[in-house]
Amino acid sequence: MTIGPRPLDGILVVDFTRVLAGPFCTALLADLGARVIKIERSGAGDPARGFGPFKDGRSLYFAFVNRGKESIALDLKKSDQDRALALRIAERADVLVENFRPGAMDRLGLGWEPLAARNPRLVYASASGFGHTGPWSRLPAYDTVIQAMSGIMSETGFPGGPPTRVGASIADLTTGVYAVAAITTALYAREHTGRGTRIDLAMLDAMVSYLEHGFMHVAAYGTPPGRIGNRHPSITPFDTFATADRDIVLCAGDERLFAKLCAALGRDDLPRDPRFAANAARTENEPALKQEIERALAAHGADHWLVRITEAGVPCAPINDVAQVAASPQVAARNMLVTAGGVAMPGNPLKLAGYADPTTRPEEPALDQHGAAVRAEFG
C-alpha cells in the first residue's frame, strides 16, 4: 500500500510491546511513517491475539493497535540465535519500545545499558505500571489496577455509588500517547546531541497527571474529593440534564454563557436570583439550580433544546453512543474512522499539514508474517 511521505519516514522502531499501552504507542508511530518491527513470542505471539471481540476469527483487540507493523516471532528466553537477531535489529534501530515488567529486558540481555553501548543513538522507551523506580516498581499492573491505585476510580461515579472504572482503558491509552510524545521529543533532541536516551514511563504517573481537580481539592480543603457524578467540581451549570425525553449536556462556563442559557430556557429570572448570581454561588447551590433548569427543560424534548441552546451560543451536546459518533459527519470530516483489513477502527488524531492521512491503513500482521524477510535483512 502506497501512502506517500510521512513525518517519521526512515525511523526504525523495534517493538517488544504487547497488549495495549505499548502497542497503541507503536501503532501511532507506524501511522506517522515509522517502520515498526514487532517482536513476538514464538508460538503464542502477543497475548492480545487471543482477546475478543473477534470477527471471522480475527482479534479486533489486536487489530486496532497493531495495524501497519511487521511481525517476527522469536524465542528470546531459550534461543541464543533469536536473542542475537533481536540484538542486531536493536543495534540498527532508532527507537526501541517495551512494556515488560522492570528487569525483564535486562534478564534477556536487551536492557538499556548494553544496547546504548552498542547503539548510542537509540531512543529506548520503557512503559510499565509504576515505572523503574520506587517501592512499587516491580508490582504487576493492568489498566484497572492503575485506575484503582491512582485515585481516579475514587473520583468517578455518583454520590453514594461505588468507585467506578472509566469506560475506556484510560491508563493504558494515556501512557501510549505520552510515550509517543516522549519518543518524538527524544528524537528531536538527538538531532542536537547525536545521542539517544532512556525513557521511563509509568501508567500510574500518567493517571496522576490527570488528577488536577483532585489535587486542587486536597490543596484547598485537605481532604480528597468525593464522587459527584457528571457535574464539574467548580463550574456550574456544567452537567447532564433531563429533558422531556432524554438527557443532554449543558456547559455554561462563565456569566455571559449562563445568561444566554437562561434566556434560551425562558428563565431570565435565574441570573437575578442571589443563589445563582455568580459561579461560586451557583456551585454552592448546584442542586437547586439543576432543579430549576430541569423544570424548564421538561417542556420539550432534547432535539428542541439542542437546536435552541446551540443557536444561543451555549455549549451543549446530546449523549451519543459509540455507533452514533461513528456515523457522525464530524468524525467523517476528520478522517477519524479508517479501515484496515476491511474493518473500521479509530483513525490517528495527529493531523500534520502536508502529510497524507489516508482513509485505509495496512492491516495488522499475522504472527511471524515477516519473519523470513526480517531474518534475511538482519541475519
Separation CA 294–CA 345 (nearest Å): 37
- Which pLDDT value is given to residue 82? 96
Closest CA to 374 of 40, 45, 142: 40
Domain boundaries defined on the chain:
12-210+332-378, 238-242+247-318
Q: Do domains 12-210+332-378 and 238-242+247-318 have the same CATH topology?
A: no
**For residues 346 and 359, what is the distance between their CA atoms, to the nearest angstrom?**
10
Q: Give per-10-residue mean pLDDT for the chain (379 aa).
A: 81 98 98 97 95 95 97 96 97 97 95 97 98 96 97 96 96 98 98 97 97 94 94 96 98 96 97 96 97 98 98 98 97 97 95 94 96 95
Which candidate, 337, 358, 348, 359, places its Cα nearest to that of 28? 348
SS (H, E, C) 126-152: EEECCCCCCCCCCCCCCHHHHHHHHCH
Which residues lie across from 3 on neighbouring strands? Answer: none
Q: Which of 132, 232, 300, 370 is catalytic?
A: 232
Phi, psi of 207 (to 5 degrees): -70, -40
What values do phi and psi take at 194, rounded to 5? 80, 5
pLDDT value of position 166: 95
Calculate the CA dihedral of residues 150, 151, 153, 159 and round it to 10 degrees.
180
Q: Does the active-site annotation cover 217?
A: no
Grid cell digits, residue 281: 454561588
Q: What angle do CA 360, 361, 364 make, to 5 degrees?
A: 140
pLDDT reported for residue 1: 56
Fold of 238-242+247-318: formyl-coa transferase, domain 3 (3.30.1540)
List the beta strands (DSSP E) in the chain: 12-16, 35-41, 54-55, 58-59, 70-74, 95-98, 123-128, 198-202, 238-242, 247-251, 316-318, 337-340, 343-346, 360-361
The confidence score (pLDDT) of residue 3 equals 66
What are the backbone angles phi and psi of residue 142, rounded to the nearest 5°? -125, 175
pLDDT value, residue 2: 57
- The total of other beta-carbon atoms located within 10 Å of residue 298's CB is 13
Domain 12-210+332-378: CATH superfamily, name plus number: Crotonobetainyl-coa:carnitine coa-transferase; domain 1 (3.40.50.10540)
The C-alpha cell that represents 266 in the structure block: 425562558
